[in-house]
Structure 1
Amino acid sequence: MLEVLGLPTHILLLHAVVVLAPLAGLGGILYAVRPRWRRALELPVAVLAVVAAGFTVLTASAGEALEHALPGSRLIHEHAEQGDLLEVAAAVLAGAVVVLAALTGPWLAARLPVLDRLRVSRPLTVSVQVLTVLAGAFLIYQTVVTGHTGAAAAWADWRTR
Structure 2
Amino acid sequence: MSLVNGLPAHVLLVHFVVVLVPLAALALVVGAVWPQAARRLGVLLPILAFVALAGVPLATSAGEWLEEHVDSNALVRRHAELGDGLLPWALGLFVLAAAVWWAARKSSAERWSAVPVRTAVAVLSVAVAVGAVVDVYRIGDSGAKAAWHDGFSQAATGAGGDAD
Shorter-chain TM band = 0.7 to 0.9
For 2:58 and 2:70, how far apart are their aligned partners in 1?
Answer: 19
Kindly tell me the number of residue pairs found equivalent between the two proteins.
Answer: 151
Q: State the 1:7 CA deviation.
A: 0.6
* DSSP 3-state at the match of 2:134: helix
Structure index of larger Rg: 2
Q: Quick one: percent identity of the two aligned structures? A: 36
Kept in 2: contact 1:100–1:125 (CA 8 A): no
Matches within 5 A, 1:1-161: 2-102=2-102, 104-106=103-105, 109=106, 119=112, 122-159=115-152
For 1:38 and 1:133, how far apart are their aligned partners in 2?
Answer: 14
1:7 counterpart letter in structure 2: L
Kept in 2: contact 1:28–1:136 (CA 8 A): yes
* DSSP 3-state at the match of 1:72: coil
Q: State the 1:75 CA deviation.
A: 0.6
Cα RMSD for the two superposed structures: 2.0
Q: Aligned residue for 1:113?
A: none
Q: State the 1:122 CA deviation.
A: 4.8
2:32 counterpart letter in structure 1: A
What's the TM-score, normalizing by structure 1? 0.84
Kept in 2: contact 1:100–1:129 (CA 8 A): no
After TM superposition, where is structure 1 displaced by more than 6 Å over at least 4 residues in a row?
none
Change (3 A) 1:156 1:8: same
For 1:141 and 1:148, how far apart are their aligned partners in 2?
Answer: 10
1:36 counterpart letter in structure 2: Q
For 1:21 and 1:33, how far apart are their aligned partners in 2?
Answer: 18
Unaligned ranges ≥5, structure 2: 154-164
Kept in 1: contact 2:38–2:100 (CA 8 A): no
Name the structure with the higher helix share: 1
What's the TM-score, normalizing by structure 2? 0.83
Kept in 2: contact 1:10–1:62 (CA 8 A): yes
For 2:141 and 2:34, how far apart are their aligned partners in 1?
Answer: 31
